[in-house]
Chains A and B, each alone.
Chain A
Amino acid sequence: MMKQMLLSSTVVIGAYFAVSGAAGTQASAAELTLCWAAWDPANALVELSKDFEAKSGNTMKFEFVPWPNFADRMLNELNSGGKLCDLMIGDSQWIGGAAENGQYIKLNDFFDKEGIKMADFIPATVIGYAEWPKNSPNYWALPAFGDVVGWTYRKDWFSRPELQAEFKQKYGRDLAVPKTFAELKDIAEFFQKRQIDGKTVYGAAIYTERGSEGITMGVMDVLYSFGFEYGNPKKAYELDGFVNSADAVKGLEFYKALYDCCTPPGHSDAYMSEDIDAYKSGQVALQMNFAFTWPGIHADANVGGDKSGYFPNPAGPTGVQFAQLGGQGISVVAASDKQKEALDYIKWFAQPEIQKKWWALGGYSALRSVVEDPGFATSQPYAQTFLDSMAIVKDFWAEPSYASLLQASQKRFHDYVVANQGTAKDALDGLSEDWKDIFEDEGKY
């Protein structure tokens, strides 16, 4: 009886310590909230983060917002000093505002302490996602997801002998991956309203969205290769003659011509998801989209596998070739009460083996050891295109006033390309004026 009582007491005491011990561990563990866009890579990150949870004891919560509302929602959060997000995978263009307004914490000391070197990451992603001011060693994020605008094409249609013969007869060259934008337009025109397998198909799905950033990303993706510059490289914020140069005007005229000739009906407000839908449903031969869409396309039952191919942005009329940078860095939100744990997450995420796993799950790692691995280029059918595209990137303004700059370009481009108002020169002259007004407000002149 006594023994039983002793045993019972021991069990009770043991259980008490076990429970209190567990409670103690739980008390020291934190629940971190990571904010990002709602898209395929975010799902991969949820999967990847399970490793962090297991190793750190912290739990991860995710706040994913669809792309069209992502900037609205998250910039509201940052501007109001909200504590919803501890970690933010914010768009590359936010970096200037977030750094100057104290919304992200500066990571230089943390990187030095933990031995994280920016030289280990793809240079374009460091400039694009981490640095402010640009080209200065001031880091506000760790490159998290490399992305770039490129093209997907229907390889199975391109390889049909009857289409190849017809194309060759019409254009005097093979129906193949375009090397220039002029060739791309020929291909789009060739497929426009063509009957394939009893269905009417169209040339190309391109970005035309008005509400957030869609048409700007699409137009810029083309304009760079036509010679557009954001300003005088020798004198900051001198825009006239660069933003609205004759070459830039030609580029914008080309984009409108591509929209008018070769997009599917009703493609007047399309961004990433609309382009994916148009492509996956077998409506278009070519699709402009960010590289993040490629794993999903490769896996698609309808257009995946050998049916699709990938190519980087073609060159412009003078052979110049650039592509619009996408992607994001991961930052610690200054308003967060859990900065230490958030930094632990970044430390964990920066590890080469985690980055390797990130790529395997469908996340585009920006770590050089991953992308420069000899097996990387052949690891996926789109891997080489990703590397080629990342080598030619340019990005939109990342100034603190980026939102106003973006809204001006959205309006000017949509007015001209979709709404047929004015000429390309009017649009770019107007844009140059708008941007100058914004910079004047900012005290840049």
Chain B
Amino acid sequence: MLHSSIDRAAHATPPVLTRRIRGLSDRAIAWIFVAPSIVLLLAINIFPLIWTVRLSFTNFRVNRPNEAVQFVGLRNYLNILSDKDIWLTMQATAHFLIWTIVLQVLIGFALAYLINKKFRGNDLWTTIIVLPMMLSPAVVGNFWTFLYQPQIGLFNYAVGFLTGADPSSFSMIGDTTLAPWAIIIVDTWMWTPFVMLICLAGLRSIPSSIYEAAECDRASSWRQFWTITIPMVLPFLMLAILFRGIENFKMFDLVVQLTGGGPGSITELTSINLKREAFEKWRTGYASAYAVILFVTVFGLASIYVKALNKVKQR
């Protein structure tokens, strides 16, 4: 049936078209198949990127359609790089990025190591542990604001219970010293399972024969851990760090929901600051330059990191 349908379709194709298609090389046919994807990519990725770079050299404001757009050269870039407030948001981002990665890698690897052991209820625990990463960041941000609420929040109550402090005597998201840690705790709670899953994949990819050989050589568990487990999981771990690093450099939703960048500007990460410039102050040209700087930073750092990752893999 199928065969006859194809035959019918083939017979129905005009002879002129048939001759033309027959005349195409394999390379040309491949291009025909790939072309729609390339056009789509150009339209929704490359063109906006080029347009953003172009806008970054102008004083364009999207809310002023009647104003003439002027070319301002590198002024936007110079203003951004010399703006003290922007460097403060960079510092806030770096603090958030470094601590979330450190905590997520340590806890994620430890959890993966434990889950990798065979015990009863292993699957159930795995499911429970990965639940946070399945939730929407907006939902997580919202319910953690309740957990952090000084008067009724469970988090404050737990801290009060354990330390004897008055739960309403501190505000995790209202205090300048605690707020940066408040967002780190929530991100770690949410994304540690992701790191754990990647580490678990790494641990399960290690052939048991290697451990058996090590045991024959009377290697201690500690030595097996440092000379077999860590080196073989390292590429996976580095991949997890890359993913989390890129994601947290762009972190927006969770922090906006939790602190809105406050108190003051203590937790105002670069993405929040960029959004304020672009869609609250409507400085489109300036915000474009800001976005280009962030893009180059992430792209540059990620490229260096990927090269290092490849070297580790080759070892």
Q: Which residues of A contact B (CB under 8 A)?
A: 71-72, 75-76, 78-81, 97, 100-102, 209-211, 264-269, 400, 403-404, 407, 411, 414-416, 418-421
20 A-B pairs with CB atoms under 8 Å apart are: A72-B280, A79-B63, A79-B65, A79-B282, A209-B260, A210-B263, A210-B264, A265-B150, A266-B168, A266-B171, A267-B174, A268-B263, A269-B259, A269-B260, A403-B281, A403-B282, A404-B282, A407-B281, A414-B263, A416-B264
Q: Chain B residue with minimal CB distance to A419?
A: B264
User: When the two chains form their complex, are residues B151 and A265 in contact, meaning their CB atoms are under 8 A apart?
Assistant: yes
B266 neighbours in A (Cβ, 8 Å): 419
Residues in chain B near residue A265, CB distance under 8 A? 150-151, 168-169, 171
Q: For chain B residues 48-93, which have a beta carbon within 8 Å of chain A? A: 62-66, 85
From A264, A403, A419, give the contact of B263 (CB < 8 A): A419
B residues 258-302 touching A (CB-CB < 8 Å): 259-266, 276, 279-283
Structural contact, A418 and B280, CB atoms closer than 8 A:
no
Q: A47 to nearest B CB, angstroms?
A: 30
Residues of chain B touching chain A, judged by Cβ–Cβ distance below 8 Å, are 62-66, 85, 148-151, 168-169, 171, 173-176, 256, 259-266, 276, 279-283
Partner of A211, one of B168, B171, B260: B260
Known: A265-B171, A266-B151, A421-B176. 9 other contacts (CB 8 A): A75-B282, A97-B63, A101-B65, A266-B149, A268-B175, A269-B174, A403-B63, A419-B263, A419-B264
Interface of A is mostly: loop
A210 x B261 contact (CB < 8 A): yes
Does A268 contact B63, Cβ atoms closer than 8 Å? no
The 5 closest A-B pairs by CB, nearest first: A419-B264, A268-B174, A265-B150, A415-B264, A210-B262
Q: How far is the CA of A211 from the CA of B260 in the complex (A)?
A: 6
**A76-B279, A414-B262, A421-B264 are known contacts. Are A268 and B65 too (CB-CB below 8 A)?**
no
Residue on B with the closest CB to A103? B63
- Who on chain A is nearest to B171 by CB? A266
Tell me, in angstroms, the Cα distance from A416 to B266 when the chains sit together.
12
| A411 / chain B contacts, CB cutoff of 8 Å | 85, 264-265
CB-based contact A414/B265 at 8 Å: yes
Q: Which residue of B lies closest to A215 (CB)?
A: B262
Shortest Cβ distance from B277 into A: residue: A407
Are B64 and A400 in touch, CB under 8 angstroms? yes
Do the beta carbons of A418 and B262 come within 8 Å of each other?
A: yes
Q: Which residues of A sit under 8 angstroms from B148, Cβ to Cβ?
A: 266
Inter-subunit contact A418/B150 (CB<8 Å)? no
List the B residue with the shortest CB-CB distance to A434: B85
Residue from B66, B256, B283 in contact with A101 in the complex, judged by beta carbons closer than 8 Å? B66
Q: Which residues of B contact A414 (CB under 8 A)?
A: 262-265
List residues of chain A with CB within 8 A of the CB of B149.
266
Residue numbers in B under 8 Å from A268 (CB-CB) = 171, 173-175, 262-263
Q: Select B280's contact among A78, A264, A407, A420, beta carbons within 8 Å.
A: A407
B260 with A266: CB separation less than 8 A: no
Task: Give Cα A79–Cα B64 distance, bound, in whole angstroms.
Answer: 8
8 Å CB contact of B176 from A97, A210, A420: A420
Q: In the assembly, what is the distance between CA of A76 and CA of B280, in Å?
A: 9
Contacting residues, chain B, for A269 (C-beta < 8 A): 173-174, 259-260, 262-263
Flag if A72 contacts B276 (CB, 8 Å).
Answer: no
Q: How far is the CA of A414 from the CA of B265 in the complex (A)?
A: 8
The answer to whether A419 and B262 touch (CB under 8 A), given A72-B279, A72-B280, is: yes
Minimum CB distance partner of A263 in chain B: B174
A407 in contact with B276 (CB, 8 Å): yes
**How far, in Å, is B15 (CB) from chain A's closest CB?**
50
Query: Which of A266, A407, A418 has a CB less than 8 Å from the CB of B264?
Result: A418
| Residues in B neighbouring A75, C-beta threshold 8 A | 63, 282
A100 touching B176 in the complex, CB below 8 Å, given contacts A265-B171, A269-B260, A407-B281: no
Taking CB atoms, residues of chain B closer than 8 Å to A415 are: 264-265
> With a CB–CB cut-off of 8 A, which chain A residues contact B62?
79-80
Q: How far is the CA of A72 from the CA of B276 in the complex (A)?
A: 10
| B281 partner residues in chain A, CB cutoff 8 A | 403-404, 407
Q: Cα distance A404–B173 when bound, in Å?
A: 25
Report the separation of the CA atoms of residues A414 and B264 in the bound assembly, to the nearest whole angstrom.
5
Contacts of B261 in A (CB 8 A): 210-211
Q: Are B262 and A266 in contact (CB under 8 A)?
A: no
CA distance A78 to B279 in the complex (A): 12
In the complex, A75→B149 CA distance in Å? 32
Q: Are A418 and B260 in contact (CB under 8 A)?
A: no
User: What A residues does B264 contact at CB under 8 A?
Assistant: 210, 411, 414-416, 418-419, 421
CA distance A78 to B168 in the complex (A): 43
Chain B residues with Cβ below 8 Å from A71 are 280
- Expressed in whole angstroms, the Cα–Cα distance for A404 and B65 within the complex equals 17
Q: Are B174 and A266 in contact (CB under 8 A)?
A: yes
B151 lies within 8 A of A264 (CB): yes
Most chain A CB within a 10 A radius of its CB, from B63, B151, B256, B260: B63
CB distance from B183 to the nearest CB of A (A): 13
CB pair B173 A419 closer than 8 Å: no
For the complex, give the distance between the alpha carbons of A79 and B256 in Å.
Answer: 23
Given A403-B282, A419-B264, A421-B264, also A101-B176 (CB < 8 A) = no
Distance in Å from the Cβ of B87 to the closest Cβ of chain A? 15
- A420-B174 Cα distance, complex, nearest whole Å: 11
- Which residues of chain A have C-beta atoms less than 8 A from B174's C-beta? 266-269, 418
Q: Give Cα A414 to B85, complex, Å.
A: 14
Q: Which residues of B contact A100 (CB under 8 A)?
A: 64, 66
A80 to B85, CA, bound (A): 29
B246 to chain A, nearest CB (A): 25
CB distance from A113 to the nearest CB of B (A): 27
Contact between chains at B260 and A210 (CB < 8 Å): yes
The answer to whether A102 touches B262, judged by C-beta atoms less than 8 angstroms apart, is no
CB contacts (< 8 Å) of B260 on chain A: these are 209-211, 269
- Shortest Cβ distance from A193 into B: residue: B168
Chain B residues near A404 (CB, 8 Å)?
281-283
The distance in angstroms between the C-alpha atoms of A345 and B312, with both chains bound, is 69
Bound complex: CA A79 to CA B282 (Å): 9
B166 nearest CB neighbor, chain A only: A265
Q: Considering the chains assembled together, what is the distance between the CA atoms of A267 and B176 in angstroms?
A: 13
Please determine whether B263 and A101 come into contact, CB atoms closer than 8 angstroms.
Answer: no
Chain A: CB-nearest residue to B85: A411
